[in-house]
Structure 1
Amino acid sequence: MSLLAGPADAQAPLTTQAPPRASASQQVAHRNVLLLIMDDQNTDLGIYGAPVSTPNVDHLAREGVRFQPAYTQFPICGPTRASFLTGLRPNTIGPGAAFERFRCTLPDVVTLPQYFRQNGFFTARVGKVFHQGVPKDIGTSGDDDAQSWDQVVNPRGVDKDLEGQVHNLTPGIPGLGRANSWLAHNAPDTDFTDGKVADGAIAMLQANKSRPFFLAVGFYRPHVPEIAPAKYFAQYPPKAMTLAKETPDTLSRVLPIATNSDMMNLGMTEDQQRQMVAAYHASTSFVDAQVGRVLQELKRLGLDRNTVVVLIGDHGYMLGEHGQWQKSLLWEEATRVPMIVRAPGGNVGGVASQTVEMLDLYPTIASLAGLPANPSNEGRSLVSLLQNPAREDWHGAAFSQILGGRSIRTDRWRYTEWEGGRSGRELYDHARDPREQHNLAQDPKYAGIVAQLRARLPQGVVEKRGKKTLSDPQTPKPPLGRYPVPEGCEHLERLTE
């Protein structure tokens, strides 16, 4: 049996039948899974060509396959995690509820870790996997899914005690979950929450090395507030940071509805913008060091020989492109994510240039671990791309959305429409315009392309886009009673941290 053998790539229709369990013969081929999630992490990583020190992520990529154009379904923490962990598109989960509370609309759905649990794996979570608001839910389970886990660990570090000391560059934004803020502190790595996440993951590996496991390790940075050890900040002098390549002309072309604030760059000066870029990169390097600690222990225990390792960000993150910061947008930088897969006996140093989406993770991980396909999955297995990253007949597309907007990304094009096109459309040719600065949607020469891409957008409720400012919730709450509310879900609120 090939180490990368798995079900065909064909997408199965949504079904309510129970997912299959592995047979006794299939169980022999089971492999462990280590899923590493970096919170709000874009592709500003060394291996993706960014001037950021991430030696451990880079090393993992050189031992596996890096998916170059990979995209989130929903560039907000809760909805994207609900999507890739259930294997369902956001509109399938249900637009009338908080996506992160998916059990309220799909009580019987089998999540990715739950599927492994049903097939005899020990499943555990350390840190943020399903939704937790950052920083307010650090140290708690947040909107976790109890049915998915045998054991959970909710670390809490010194950063929680330091929140009152942060340098807030956007004081008009209430709460630290959205504010551009940072703090460098001299405490050691292991005193911070993400250091404790690594500690918990290491302990979990040691305690469960003799049985098949699915271990999800969720780090909390580089999500704001950027609180990290001072030694990582020292690597990124703010004056040396490069700002996004925008001009008054390019900024004037940005559709107002495609922004998340009424103020370009949230009103920050250029020095403040450089400081925020430096803080984001410092936090990234800090998390990379913790990733390295976990991977080192995996290898020390000899578990790397039989463990599938997947590293992802949950969505992208904007650092001044189009005058925008953070997430909740449908630009390239907000929707694109890092995705790295290392499978035992698999491709080494491969780079897949085909367009994939996070929805593809569930069927891929299940297949690599030796489990049969879950027929409810709406994504495609990436196993064939892991076998042959240069495969030319993939023809993939990625679909991303927020309330009020939806977008399709193919290998060449991005098409986005707002409120069904009534409030604006965008078309960008990535072969000539990788920064998405020239909107072609209204050019008659591209009407055919617009029509083709628009026809491929998934159908579903788009809803009206809310007021575009980080000081207010990104998505308006629907009136109670507009959609059926299951028992126990009467007080749903959309969480946007």
Structure 2
Amino acid sequence: MSKKPNILMICSDQHTARVTGCYGDNIIETPNLDALAAEGCRFDSFYCNNPICVPSRMSFMSGRYSFKCESLGNQSVLDSRYPTLAHIAVRGGYHSVLSGKMHFNGPDQRHGFLERIFGEMSAQALYNGLDRPKRGIRASLGNCSRPDPLYHVGPGSNPVVDYDSGITKRSVSWLDKYAKTKDAPPFFMVTGYLLPHCPYIANPKLFKKYEAKVKAVKLSRNQLDSLHQHHKDYRKYILLDEIPEKNLDRAAIAYYAMVDQMDQNIGKIINTLKKSGLWDNTIIMYFSDHGEMLNYHGRWHKECFYEDSVRVPMIVRHPKMKLPKTSSTVHSLVDLMPTLCELVGVKPPPGIDGVSILPTLKGATPDLSAKSETYTFWATHKPGLSSNRMVRKGPWKLCYYGTYDSYQLFNLEKDPEEHNDLAKSPKHRSILKKLSKLIFSDGWSANIAKEIDERLKSFGHPENMKSFRDMLHDGALKNDPLPIESPDYWKESEKLTTELE
């Protein structure tokens, strides 16, 4: 085995930092993540760069803000000309391995990974070598932009749980085999979990464990009426006022149970590293692609700029470095690319965003002369609507909503729960003006989604999921799975489940 440190990145899906023991939650049981944080560094101000699955992942994989790598929604295809984390690792002498979800769309299902030992979640991947689904609440619920997930919640059978179990088994098996291989190069492994992403259906035993302890946040009518119009329109769109209150509680309970389940899976990988002798030479980074709102500010899922949606857990453990226990330095997921470049000794590719987190891990103040802010972007393709962007600089967070041409401004040091919007305060006009210039920097505009769509059409990219499905049915991409958040996935899954039963 190599003396160079191995690198393991574990990426979960839709895990808000709030629901983690080491981030201050006294109810959730996450002993493995807590132990990892105790040995490493916990970042308290780490952000995703787009609060939705595919754009967030393509952004950190390429080291570019999502509008710069043309990733606007869950149907987006990452151009294979962009170098990814996997390409960088291989160039640095590492063997790159992907296990589980990375939400790659299109024919390129590796993007630089030399091995892919477990694929995207599809009907084929889900039941290939895994246990048959058990009876209970069925998880074929449609996508998370409509109210279906909140109508069907509670204990039951969830294919996401089975999928992640398969990822864990395959990852453990690969690590065991690697540990026994002589003269193997160091590995760069990315394990991508789908938990704790909705549907909000959990293992019955774990659901019962949290049933009496967890309730969803409740908002008064005055609080709901005071929301920004952007959030009011969101609530109307997913029909939140029609969801029974008990369902919100049960969804929150299930979410806690799924986080618990995910932590157990991570524990199995950590135990394998320790038993196989790899632990003392493996860097581990745990993070999520975005968060989960859990009814805070009257919202569920993600797709907004409140902290529960855009702030993600980030825990780093380095066996050869003494790390600070915590860091409040603002970083974001695009920083993974320059960080990996520094770790493996490869010059960063041109055009990437972000800065390395290694200076922060060494307890120093990173050189932010070229970049002292972090951005989050969310595009929408709905007719008549424009895109939105957020910038975080120091204690300040400014959110811009293109459809309404309006802002929200928060001082996170004084108002970490974001209850006091200062955008209309005369005392804060100067900071709003200063930050608004950053919002519209580097080529971004509220119409950026339309501009990119037109550019992609000229390149011949699939315009939407329908054309992507047509390519599949025509045989052009026979082995390419459909993304988990496509409603068509659930139809295929339900059909296959019926056949198996």
Deviations 1:106-165 (A, max 9, x none): x42110012212333221111102447xxxxxxxx9973444333331352569846983
User: 1:109 is matched by which residue type in structure 2?
Assistant: Y
Q: Is the 8 A contact 2:44 2:328 kept in 1?
A: yes
Counterpart of 1:409 in structure 2 is: 392
Q: 1:82 to 1:229 in 2, by over 3 A?
A: same
* Residue 120 (1) aligns with residue 82 (2): no
TM-score by length of 1: 0.79
What CA deviation, in whole Å up to 9, does each residue of 1:414-447 have, x standing for no partner? 1111118x53211112233222122111111110
In the other structure, the counterpart of 2:69 is 93
Unaligned runs of 5+ in 2: 120-124, 380-386, 467-482, 486-501
Residue 440 of structure 1: aligned partner? 422
**Residue identity in the other structure for 2:333:** M
Over 3 Å counting, the alpha-carbon distance change for 1:488 and 1:215 in structure 2 is farther
Which residue of 381, 389, 407 corresponds with 1:425? 407
Residue 44 (structure 2) aligned to one of 54, 62, 68: 68
Task: Give the drift of 1:484.
Answer: 4.4
Q: Aligned letter for 2:11?
A: I
Q: d(CA) in 2 for partners of 1:148 and 1:492? A: 26
Deviates more, 1:37-46 or 1:219-228: 219-228
Superposition pairs for residues 162-241 of structure 1, below 5 Å? 165-166=137-138, 181-185=152-156, 192-209=162-179, 210=181, 211=184, 212-237=186-211, 239-241=212-214
What is the alpha-carbon distance in structure 1 between the residues aligned to residue 424 and residue 463 of structure 2?
A: 42
Matched, 1:294 2:269: yes
Letter in structure 1 aligned against 2:431: I
Q: What CA distance in whole angstroms lies between the structure 1 residues aligned with 2:351 and 2:5? A: 22
8 A contact 1:399–1:408 mirrored in 2? yes
* Structure 2 CA distance for aligned equivalents of residues 399 and 55 of structure 1: 31
Give CA-to-partner distance per residue, 1:214-264, whole Å, 9 cap, x none.
Answer: 111111111111343222212201x43243263322222211224533167
Match of 1:377 among 339, 344, 352: 352
For residues 107 and 137 of structure 2, the distance between their equivalents in structure 1, rounded to whole angstroms, comes to 24
CA contact (8 A) 1:39 1:314 kept: yes
Q: Is the alpha carbon distance of 1:169 and 1:201 closer, same or farther for their aligned partners in structure 2, counting shifts above 3 Å? A: closer
User: For the residues of structure 2 that align with 1:318 and 1:252, how far apart are their CA atoms?
Assistant: 18
SS of the residue 1:417 aligns to: strand
Contact 2:139 2:201 survives alignment (8 Å)? no
2:129 is equivalent to residue 153 of structure 1: no
| Residues 151 and 145 (structure 1), Cα distance of their counterparts in 2 relative to 1, 3 Å cut | closer
Amino acid at match of 2:162: F
Say if 2:62 and 2:85, in contact at 8 Å, map to a contact too.
yes
Question: Would the aligned equivalents of 2:303 and 2:378 in 1 still touch at CA under 8 Å?
Answer: yes
Unaligned runs of 5+ in 1: 1-26, 133-140, 466-476
1:280 counterpart letter in structure 2: Y
How far is the alpha carbon of 1:482 from its aligned partner?
2.4
Contact 2:175/2:273 (CA < 8 Å) preserved in 1? yes
TM-score by length of 2: 0.79
- Rounded to whole Å, the distance in 2 between the matches of 1:414 and 1:309 is 29
Task: Confirm or deny that 1:39 pairs with 2:13.
Answer: yes
Work out the CA distance in 1 between the residues paired with 2:340 and 2:5: 10
In the TM superposition, what whole-angstrom CA distance separates every residue of 1:153-209 from its partner, at most 9, and x where no partner exists?
A: 135256984698338999997696x6564353489x998221111111111112223
SS in 1 for 2:22: helix
How far the C-alpha of 1:456 sits from its partner, in A, is 1.9
Secondary structure, aligned partner of 2:9 = strand
Does residue 270 in structure 1 map to residue 282 in structure 2?
Answer: no
Q: Does the residue aligned with 2:359 lie in a helix, a strand or coil?
A: helix
Cα shift at 1:99: 7.4
1:446 and 1:86 mapped to 2: Cα distance? 36
User: Secondary structure in 2 aligned to 1:148?
Assistant: coil
Residues 258/396 of structure 1: CA separation in 2 closer, same or farther (3 Å cut)? farther
2:281 to 294, 306, 329: 306
The separation in 1 between residues aligned to 2:309 and 2:161, in whole angstroms, is 30
Query: What is the alpha-carbon distance in structure 1 between the residues aligned to residue 451 and residue 322 of structure 2?
Result: 50
CA distance in 2, matches of 1:429, 1:163: 48
- Please report the RMSD computed on the Cα atoms of aligned residues, expressed in angstroms: 3.5
User: How many Å separate the matches in 2 of 1:142 and 1:247?
Assistant: 48
Residues of 2 paired with 1:191 and 1:415: CA distance? 36
Give, as a single letter, the amino acid of the residue that structure 1 aligns with 2:396: W
228, 253, 269: which one pairs with 1:255? 228
Helix, strand or coil: the match of 2:457?
Answer: coil
Instruction: Tell me how many residue pairs correspond in the alignment.
Output: 444
- Match for 2:216: what amino acid? L
